[in-house]
Structure 1
Amino acid sequence: MVNFSYTIVGAGAIGGFYGSRLQRAGGKVHFLLHSDYQHVSQNGLLIESPEGNFTLPEVNAYRNVGDIPPSDVVVVALKTTNNHLLPKLLPPLIKDTSFVLVMQNGLGIEEEVAKIVGAQRVMGAMCFVCSNKIGPGHIRHLDYGTITIAEYLPNYQSVGITQRMRQLAADFESAGIEVLLSEDLLISRWQKLVWNIPYNGLSVVLDATTEQLMADREMRSLIEQIMQEVALGAQSWNRLIPESFIEKMLVYTTKMKPYRTSMKIDYDLGRPLEIEAIFSNPLKIAAKAGVNLPQIRMLYQQLKFLDAQNC
């Protein structure tokens, strides 16, 4: 049973997948769409998954935020390159008891959302999932799917496990999604970057899938070095990422089905890359603590060049 009502802002590979699972479990879900609106409003959503394919022939599809009734939970699943739209998108979707679940990649993004809706409304979600949108209203889930949820406080203070975290987890678990509850959003954000920074960055720079990267001894070594540098960034803010976590990410990726990362897909399609949230913000945060991350900075500079040439 799904207790909260949901509005999904950004119904692509991530928002569309999790939102569809919530609706299939009986939840009241509204989808804010852009280019897919006409198709989804007429045909619904199609989800392919190793856990079972399914179709939602009827969904609550909207093109304008003003037409969407306020929900308990507003899920922000846009690419961070579109976060400049949030000051106009979020306020009409909020009611007195609403909160916002930031289901995006990168660091420092909850702060942006808090400026719009207030820090007390903001939670972060880190999704470890392989999912692609392969056509209008058509999402292909390939592997994994776990969500880590944490509360946000200014300056990323640790807040512990709250009741609304447990309620949110219960909704996703009723939809068949594994949920981990984190007492510390900042460490969870850095942990997600352990995967996002090397694989997203190198997949674009080297034109490679995760399988190709992991099959090469030199690349696997480089990935591990970059992961250790991410851990150094986390350590600069007194957050410890153990070597065992890095090894776990390497093992997970080795076992993962061949995957073209979201940044590689964006690059191949000529879309802007999420460089600022995933690379620039961590570099700035580490630099404030006096820590230099040279390999991550090199990846950042390469991606900035490629992004400028590509768009």
Structure 2
Amino acid sequence: MAEQFIYNSFQLSYAILGTGALGGYYGACLQKAGLNVHFLLHSDYEYVSKHGLVVESKYGDFTLPNVQAYQEASKMPPCDVVIIALKTTQNHLLPSMLPHVLKDNGVVLVLQNGLGVEDEVAKIVGSERVMGGLCFLCSNKVAPGHIRHLDYGQIKIGEYATNYQPAGITNRMQQIGDDFERAGIKMELAEDLLLARWQKLVWNIPYNGLSVVLDARTDELMSNLHTRKLVEELMWEVVAGAKSCDRTIPQTFVETMLNYTDKMKPYRTSMKIDYDEKRPLEVETMFGNPLNFAQARGANLPKITMLYQQLKFLDSRNCS
């Protein structure tokens, strides 16, 4: 079980697989706090290896002129914590990456959107070496090695167990949480990862999906009476999906997500950015997998089903 991998008082090393808006921001914060962080990059490798990372943040701008940058996972040192910050559309690369960069007693922290993503990673490294994380972050990469953090930033992490059984709070969760807190990232430790993933979908499904289908920012969706009502209806379908998996999301959570988004700066969602840049969309993990989970348990989610079908069409046409 996970507890056999308990870490003691030594400092953890971190690998960031995917140094974009999310991985770049969190990895930079960890390095700024004094942690040992290694960054995997693709198109930005040459620039970042020479010039480092720049972070503009509502909590204070900073620059890291020197970072440990790599273009290939096979050249990275084995690390205690491997953070997957790639888009789920790149998960087919993980079987060739993770064996090189994960220590024998290390853990993979999956900071990706959607449902079922930990299942894929568990097939590679074993379920006892996997955690999931849900990020509530407004951040964009605006230039090579240049990240603009707009709002929020908190992360909720939980241990993964086979079939998403609740796994409780472990010592390694607490140590990783402490590292992020030291880096200025608000952390929450979740006893039930499946519940946490459904809670994140309450925001992700309506805003990511509708932002693409309706070509709209979050503020535009919230300021129009009809789209705001549609956002809320989609949220309640996510709640119904969670209920089909024996997970209860209270009404107050839906209200909190609506209030958060009302106060949020105008934001172009990650899926909308991917669509505008003609990159593949995370339709399956964010929409298809939750629908499969719910439908296998007898739940009917018609609005999410329609949104999924629309996104599949738009994604196919956009990338052809």
Structures share a fold, TM > 0.5?
yes
1:262 paired with 2:270, answer yes
Amino acid at match of 2:32: R
Shift of 1:96: 1.5
Distance 1:60 1:2 in 2: 20
Kept in 2, the 8 Å contact 1:280–1:300? The answer is yes
Aligned partner (choices 192, 200, 215) of residue 223 of structure 2: 215
Q: TM-score, normalised by structure 1?
A: 0.99
Distance 2:223 2:11 in 1: 44
Distance 2:215 2:120 in 1: 31
SS at match of 1:8: strand
1:144 paired with 2:118, answer no
Which residue is equivalent to 1:134? 142
Aligned partner (choices 112, 123, 138) of residue 115 of structure 1: 123
Distance 1:247 1:161 in 2: 27
Distance 1:92 1:296 in 2: 38
Aligned partner (choices 250, 253, 262) of residue 258 of structure 2: 250
1:231 paired with 2:239, answer yes
Percent identical among aligned pairs is 64
Aligned partner (choices 180, 183, 201) of residue 193 of structure 1: 201
SS at match of 1:272: coil
SS at match of 2:131: strand
Amino acid at match of 2:38: H
Aligned partner (choices 53, 56, 79) of residue 48 of structure 1: 56
Kept in 2, the 8 Å contact 1:48–1:139? The answer is yes
Kept in 2, the 8 Å contact 1:283–1:297? The answer is yes
Distance 1:66 1:209 in 2: 39
Which residue is equivalent to 2:3? none
The structure-2 alpha-carbon separation of the partners of 1:2 and 1:75, relative to structure 1 and needing over 3 Å to count, comes to farther
Distance 1:243 1:186 in 2: 18
Alignment of 1:71-220 (within 5 A): 71-220=79-228
Shift of 1:2: 9.0
Which residue is equivalent to 1:61? 69
Amino acid at match of 2:182: S
Shift of 1:4: 1.1
Amino acid at match of 2:190: S
For the aligned residue pairs, the C-alpha RMSD in angstroms reads: 0.9
Aligned partner (choices 303, 310, 313) of residue 302 of structure 1: 310
Distance 1:217 1:169 in 2: 39
Amino acid at match of 2:252: S
1:6 paired with 2:14, answer yes
Alignment of 1:8-27 (within 5 A): 8-27=16-35
Amino acid at match of 1:285: F
Q: Where in structure 1 do 4 or more consecutive aligned residues deviate above 3 Å?
A: none
**Gaps (5+ residues) in structure 2?**
1-8
Shift of 1:3: 2.5
Amino acid at match of 1:78: L
Distance 1:273 1:159 in 2: 30
Shift of 1:66: 1.7
Distance 1:2 1:174 in 2: 15
